[in-house]
Copies of this chain bind each other. A is one copy, B any other.
Amino acid sequence: MANSTNRHINVSSVQSVDRAVSVLEILARHGAAGVTEIAVELGVHKSTAFRLLDVLENRGLVEQAEERGKYQLGLGIVRLAGATAAQLDIVQEGQPVCERLAEELGETVNIAIADGDGAVNVVQTIGAAAITGYNWVGRRTPLHATSSGKVLLAFMPPDQRRNLLPRRLPRHTEHTLTSAARLREELVAVVERGYATCEEELEVGLNSVAAPVRSFNGSVIAALSVSGPAFRLTGERLPAVAARTAEAADEVSRRMGFG
């Protein structure tokens, strides 16, 4: 090793590459930086930093900014990320988390995404305690009468939400919120709390809780929900279950690159 200071136990074998990645991270943090600046931060010689930047530039991961001698992250990174995002599927990332939660709670866990004026379940795992094994995957549910839907509505851009909510909302049970104004009030609370609940508003005897799943850019892309029979998933149990639901949703968000 060149200099004495071997910071944190260096497990990685290929130092060159390791440093190159550091260069990328430095650029990500600083936005743009010069050779010398990077060399100092890496603790290596200018020439070393330069060579690294040179390779990264030739490969398009880094490019020179307007100002001569300033480097910044390049399009190559974006292109790579495009390929990553494709396989960074909510289904793939969410499935294992849902399974764990379903096992822990014994209830059914779903992940739903917004699709026009409805929500579509794209992941479902059925907990051990679930009586009926009804398959909700692919099923469209109304946004105003489900906990997932409320989450999606609550974190939606206002413009978009406005277009999705007619003044009177279709009734499904006698608990369904049918007034847009009334629903809007609840959505404010949903953002506040970080989760939504639904008590027999879609089907009699069916309760649920949902929390938002975020993408790497912070936008809410899905809702993770736990649902079960009202007699077991009682109103008073909901807050406690909501906490676990939110944790799971955060875990999926992390896997999607958020935070």
Assess whether A82 is in contact with B17, with CB atoms less than 8 Å apart. Answer: no
Total identical chains = 2
Interface residues of chain A: helix, strand, loop or mixed (majority): helix
Contacts of A81 on B, CB cut-off 8 Å?
77-78, 80-81, 84, 216
Q: Taking the complex as formed, is A28 at the interface, i.e. its CB lies under 8 A from any CB of chain B?
A: yes
| A11-B58, A163-B163 known; A82+B257 contact, CB < 8 A | yes
Assess whether B13 is in contact with A16, with CB atoms less than 8 Å apart. Answer: no
Closest 9 CB pairs of A and B: A81-B81, A163-B163, A28-B83, A116-B159, A16-B16, A78-B257, A73-B84, A17-B20, A21-B59
What 0/1 readout, one digit per residue, does chain A (171-207) give for beta carbons within 8 Å of chain B? 0000000000000000000000000000000000000
Q: Which residues of A contact B (CB under 8 A)?
A: 11-14, 16-18, 20-21, 24-25, 27-29, 31-32, 51-52, 54-56, 58-59, 61, 72-88, 115-117, 157, 159-160, 162-164, 216-217, 255, 257
* A32, A74, A78, A88 — most chain B CB neighbours (10 Å): A78
Bound Cα distance from A12 to B61, whole angstroms:
13
Contacts of A55 on B, CB cut-off 8 Å?
12-14, 17-18, 21
8 sampled A-B residue pairs with Cβ under 8 A: A17-B55, A31-B87, A75-B84, A75-B255, A81-B84, A116-B157, A116-B159, A163-B163
For A58, give the chain B residue with the smallest CB separation. Answer: B12
For A218, give the chain B residue with the smallest CB separation. Answer: B82
Bound Cα distance from A162 to B116, whole angstroms:
10
For A19, give the chain B residue with the smallest CB separation. Answer: B17
Assess whether A78 is in contact with B216, with CB atoms less than 8 Å apart. Answer: yes
Bound Cα distance from A59 to B19, whole angstroms:
10
Contacts of A255 on B, CB cut-off 8 Å?
75
- In the assembled complex, how far is the CB of residue A52 from the closest CB belonging to chain B, in whole angstroms? 6
Assess whether B12 is in contact with A79, with CB atoms less than 8 Å apart. Answer: no
- In the assembled complex, how far is the CB of residue A78 from the closest CB belonging to chain B, in whole angstroms? 4
Assess whether A78 is in contact with B85, with CB atoms less than 8 Å apart. Answer: yes
Bound Cα distance from A79 to B85, whole angstroms:
11
| A80-B24, A80-B73 known; A56+B17 contact, CB < 8 A | yes
Bound Cα distance from A25 to B56, whole angstroms:
13
Complex partner residue of A84 from B12, B28, B51, B59, CB under 8 angstroms:
B28
Assess whether B78 is in contact with A84, with CB atoms less than 8 Å apart. Answer: yes
